[in-house]
């Protein structure tokens, strides 16, 4: 996973609530077995059906920060939603509420999800609507979003922040504690279900 | 400290706890399907890792599989490649797979319980948000992403933060024709699609205790639609009776040992929940959704709401977008909404009991000639059982299509899809835009409402049918 320290780019305001992961990437695009190449599926139904959809507007074409409405990424567990956003050029999504699984997935692939109060989200949306070229900086080191003289702090768990800053992969971290796993396994009752052998 | 059931199960699975770090949680059962696993297996291969516990891992083919001609190669080359990737991965890493045609194949959340792999007090994960279904057995079961699938494959553990605790208490007796699907649709309509965010919901109360395992699974299944991490029900005699004798259930002395443990799996009397919601079962009626998220639902006797009546600006905008997509006019009685397709199936309502309920209403009747009805059993096991009971003939004689097992029109990754603008009454769990096919419009309903709707071609409650029948008998 790529490390995330700080990122500056332009932002796209997505003024819709409850954009579920089916909308971020519809099921028909989930058949690919690679981890990249999902940009064609990103918001594909919205882009097709709504000519005025924010990502169809040329002034937001190069945006790398998505400023979304509340409850972004609810629904299906598909990590493809995170991959599609990354493949589509996004490094950060800002919202006042995220779907749990989506947020968790984002931390595994280096997409930074930033929680801000709804009024801060709306203020930022208004700012980038007024000036689509406005540079926005998201600094994970300092835990702050800043643009045109405004700095808004955000919270993130220390552990998640550290992993993102270092670009560390979870499996490697857990493997440091394999002896704990072995000790736990030695104590599991024998009647617990086993898939193999086939009875 | 008094604990909730979910806290007890969670604590019993903590492998390692350290300040400032997530807990490392042991996973008792990992279910795998073709859509969310290929990149996880690739990750293992790239790092030279193996699957730590193939004996705690089970794979099935469900999301992509056709429900017709299931023994022929899959026509869609991309779907076929995905299913073939799972077959290769299962063989390479030594994982048991139930491929198409196998007697154990089916939707991942249907086969776990059916095989007796889903057991009380266990932790269960799958790269699928509806893993919460397994909570019906008193398991802590939740959906994960592909990176986490890789993590569980490699280590049989997951880093986790303790979830918050929520109680949904449903007391009283359900009126006839009202089912567990109506309970959960009513709960989500009440608390909203984010109402349980960050929480595990424990469903309790006399109405929940009275439910069958199938009905409890329907409720737990849709916990995620209220934003919950998981949902569960304390195991009881109904649970134990369901499990006894299933292929992977403990046997002999093991059964006694397991039972002794399972009986301890209850929330302590003075345990504290972070949030509580109470529902009176007697007040419930059949629910249907009118919008594009599962929280946009109402009793079937109501009318399509007018967004102008909503005071919250965000809700109003969401309702406007939903109605535009659904092609509905405010004020229209829900009962007058005509549907093109009825879908009976999915991990929410594709179990034997669901098929029995629908078949009972269809027996000896014909569905509306302008409506197509697709009946898709949740697993080969359910299909076989239904055929042994003659339910397939009831469906076919009523004019419905009887299909092979899989996810099918729940998400339209296989050829079973709505066409643009087509409207369905569906027993699945998501009415999201385009979920059942590009431009398709979905109304979520219970199996009995699905069957009644198929008979009339309009959203219909079973009680409406009885009324008509009574009028006919009375010569009105
Ligand atoms: S039936 Fe639908 S909700 Fe259930 S696992 Fe399949 S696609 Fe997901």
CB contact under 8 A, B54 and A17: no
- Considering chain B, what percentage of its residues have pLDDT values greater than 70? 98
Q: What is the ipTM of this complex?
A: 0.94
Taking alpha carbons only, the member of B81, B71, B87 closest to residue B32 is B87
The pLDDT of residue B69:
85
- What count of CB pairs under 8 Å joins A to B? 198
**pLDDT confidence of residue B73:** 85
Interface of A with B in 107-136 (CB under 8 A): 108-109
Which residues in chain A are contacts of B47 at CB distance < 8 A? 171
CA–centroid distance, residue A125 to ligand 1 (Å): 35
pLDDT band at B469; cut points 50, 70, 90: low
Residue B467: per-residue pLDDT: 54
pTM of the model: 0.96
Q: Report the pLDDT averaged over residues A128-154.
A: 97
Structure confidence by residue, pLDDT tens digits, B73-100: 888 999 999 999 999 999 999 999 999 9
Any chain A CB within 8 A of the CB of B227?
yes
For chain B, what is the mean pLDDT?
A: 95
- And the tokens for B53? 């516990």
Is 90 exceeded by the pLDDT of residue A106?
yes
A69 reaches B (C-beta below 8 A):
yes
Over the range B63-89, which residues count as b (16 or more CB within 10 Å of their CB) and which as e?
bbbbbeebeeebebeebebbbebbeeb
> Which residues are CB-contacts of B457 (< 8 A; sequence separation ≥ 6)?
B338, B339, B368, B370, B371
Residue A199, pLDDT > 70, answer no
Q: What is the mean pLDDT of residues B109-114?
A: 98
> Distance (Å) from the C-alpha of residue B138 to the closest C-alpha of chain A?
14
Q: pLDDT confidence of B476, banded at 50, 70, 90? A: very low
**Helix, strand, or coil (residue A2):** coil
- CB-nearest to A174 from B24, B119, B122 is B24
Which one of B76, B146, B229, B259 makes the best mutation probe of the A interface by having the most chain A beta carbons within 10 Å?
Answer: B146
Percent of chain B, pLDDT > 90?
Answer: 93
Nearest to B193 among A74, A192, A195 (CB): A74
What are B332's two structure tokens?
């229209």
Interface of A with B in 1-40 (CB under 8 A): 16-18, 20, 22-23, 26-28, 30-35
- pLDDT at residue A1 in the model: 80
Pocket test for ligand 1, best of B65, B343, B407 (most atoms within 8 A of CB): B407
SS3 A158: helix
Q: CB B432 to CB A199 under 8 A?
A: no
* pLDDT score, position B312: 87
Region A106-131: what's the mean pLDDT? 96
Residue B22: pLDDT over 70: yes
Q: Is residue B333 less than 8 Å (CB to CB) from chain A?
A: no
> Given an 8 Å threshold on Cβ–Cβ distance, is A45 in contact with B150?
no
Q: So what's the pLDDT on residue B313?
A: 85
Statement: residue A140 has pLDDT above 70: yes
> What average pLDDT does range B326-349 have in this prediction?
98
Ligand 1 binding pocket mutation candidate from B31, B67, B130 (most atoms within 8 A of CB):
B130
Would the pLDDT of B205 be above 60?
yes
Say whether B264 sits in a helix, a strand or coil.
coil
Q: Which of B37, B59, B347, B408 is the pocket-test mutation for ligand 1 (most atoms within 8 Å of CB)?
A: B347
- Tell whether the model's pLDDT for residue B21 goes beyond 90: yes
The crossing angle, in degrees rounded to 10, of helices B462-473 and B447-456 is: 50
A42-99 pLDDT tens trace: 999 999 989 999 999 999 999 999 999 999 999 999 999 999 999 999 999 999 999 9
Q: What is the pLDDT of residues B384-405, one digit of tens each?
A: 999 999 999 999 999 999 999 9
SS3 (DSSP) at B30: strand
Averaged pLDDT for residues B288-293? 98
Q: What is the full DSSP assignment across B296-346?
A: SEEETTSBPPPGGG--SHHHHHHHHHHHHHHT--TT-BGGG-B-SEEEE-H
CA distance B149 to B184: 28
Q: How distant is the Cα of B210 from the closest Cα of chain A, in angstroms?
A: 27
Q: What pLDDT score does A197 carry?
A: 65
* Contact call for A171 and B150, based on CB within 8 A: yes
Mean pLDDT computed over B18-23: 96
pLDDT for residue B473 is more than 60: no
Res B475: pLDDT: 47
With CA atoms as reference, report the closest residue to B411 among B429, B398, B393.
B429
Give the pLDDT mean for B126-133: 98
User: Which of B 158-197 lie inside 8 A of A, CB atoms?
Assistant: 159, 161, 193-194, 197
- B26 and A194 within 8 Å at the Cβ level: the answer is no
Average pLDDT over residues B28-54: 97
| φ, ψ (nearest 5 deg) of residue B112 | -55, -55
Give the nearest partner residue to A74 out of B118, B161, B227, using CB atoms.
B227
pLDDT value at position B151? Answer: 98
Q: Which residues line ligand 1 (CB under 6 A)?
A: B 62-63, 107, 109, 128, 130, 346-347, 407, 410-411, 428-429
Distance from CA of B300 to the nearest CA of A (A): 24
pLDDT surpasses 90 at B220: yes
Say if the Cβ atoms of A159 and B143 lie within 8 Å.
Answer: no
pLDDT at B422: 97
- CA dist., res. A151 & res. B438, Å (int): 41
Distances (CA, A) of A141 to A144, B38, B186: 8, 34, 44
pLDDT of residue B279: 97
């Amino acid at each position: 996973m790529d490390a995330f320290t700080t990122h500056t780019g332009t932002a796209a305001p997505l003024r819709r609530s409850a954009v579920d992961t089916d909308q971020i990437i519809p099921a028909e695009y989930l058949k690919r077995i690679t981890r990249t190449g999902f940009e064609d599926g990103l918001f594909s139904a919205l882009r097709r059906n709504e000519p005025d959809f924010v990502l169809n507007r040329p002034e937001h074409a190069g945006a790398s920060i998505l400023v979304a409405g509340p409850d972004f990424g609810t629904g299906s567990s598909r990590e493809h939603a995170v991959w599609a956003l990354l493949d589509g050029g996004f490094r950060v999504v800002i919202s006042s509420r995220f779907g749990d699984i989506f947020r968790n997935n984002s931390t595994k692939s280096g997409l930074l999800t930033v929680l801000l109060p709804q009024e801060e989200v709306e203020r930022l949306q208004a700012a980038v609507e007024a000036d689509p070229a406005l540079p926005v900086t998201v600094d994970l080191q300092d835990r702050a979003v800043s643009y045109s003289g405004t700095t808004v702090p955000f919270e993130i768990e220390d552990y998640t922040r550290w992993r993102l800053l270092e670009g560390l992969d979870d499996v490697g971290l857990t493997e440091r504690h394999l002896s704990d796993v072995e000790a736990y396994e030695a104590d599991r009752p024998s009647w617990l279900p086993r898939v193999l052998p086939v009875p | 400290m008094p604990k909730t059931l979910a806290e007890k199960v969670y604590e019993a699975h903590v492998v390692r706890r350290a300040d400032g770090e997530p807990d490392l949680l042991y996973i008792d059962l990992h279910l795998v399907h073709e859509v969310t696993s290929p990149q996880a297996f690739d990750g293992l291969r790239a790092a030279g890792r193996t699957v730590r516990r193939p004996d705690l891992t089970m794979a099935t083919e469900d999301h992509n599989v056709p429900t017709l001609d299931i023994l022929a190669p899959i026509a869609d080359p991309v779907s076929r490649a995905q299913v073939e990737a799972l077959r290769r991965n299962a063989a390479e890493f030594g994982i048991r797979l139930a491929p198409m045609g196998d007697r154990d194949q089916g939707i991942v959340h249907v086969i776990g319980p059916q095989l007796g792999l889903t057991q009380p007090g266990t932790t269960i994960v799958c790269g699928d948000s509806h893993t919460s279904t397994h909570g019906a057995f008193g398991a802590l079961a939740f959906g994960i992403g592909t990176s986490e699938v890789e993590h569980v494959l490699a280590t049989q553990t997951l880093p986790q933060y303790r979830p918050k605790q929520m109680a949904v208490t449903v007391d009283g007796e359900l009126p006839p024709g009202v089912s567990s699907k109506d309970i959960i649709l009513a709960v989500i309509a009440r608390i909203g699609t984010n109402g349980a965010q960050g929480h595990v919901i424990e469903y309790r109360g006399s109405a929940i205790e009275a439910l069958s395992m199938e009905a409890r699974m329907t409720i737990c299944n849709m916990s995620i639609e209220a934003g919950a991490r998981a949902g569960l029900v304390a195991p009881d005699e109904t649970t134990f009776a369901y499990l006894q004798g299933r292929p992977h259930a403990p046997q002999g002395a093991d059964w006694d040992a397991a039972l002794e443990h399972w009986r301890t799996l209850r929330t302590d009397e003075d345990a504290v929940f972070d949030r509580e919601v109470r529902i009176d079962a007697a007040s419930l009626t059949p629910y249907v959704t009118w919008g594009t998220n599962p929280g946009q639902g109402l009793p079937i006797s109501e009318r399509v709401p007018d967004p102008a009546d909503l005071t919250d600006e965000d809700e109003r905008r969401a309702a406007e977008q939903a109605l535009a997509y659904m092609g509905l006019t405010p004020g229209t009685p829900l009962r007058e909404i005509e549907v093109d397709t009825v879908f009976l199936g999915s991990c929410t309502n594709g179990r034997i009991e669901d098929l029995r309920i629908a078949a009972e209403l269809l027996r000896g009747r014909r569905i509306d000639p302008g409506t197509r009805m697709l009946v898709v059993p949740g697993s080969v096991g359910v299909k076989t059982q239904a055929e042994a009971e003659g339910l397939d003939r009831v469906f076919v004689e009523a004019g419905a299509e009887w299909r092979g097992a899989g996810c099918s029109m729940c998400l339209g990754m296989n050829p079973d899809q709505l066409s643009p603008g087509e409207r369905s009454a569906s027993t699945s769990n998501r009415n999201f835009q385009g979920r059942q096919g590009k431009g398709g419009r979905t109304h979520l309903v219970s199996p009995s409402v699905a069957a009644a709707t198929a008979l009339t071609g309009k959203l219909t409650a079973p009680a409406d049918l009885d009324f008509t029948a009574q009028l006919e008998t009375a010569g009105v």
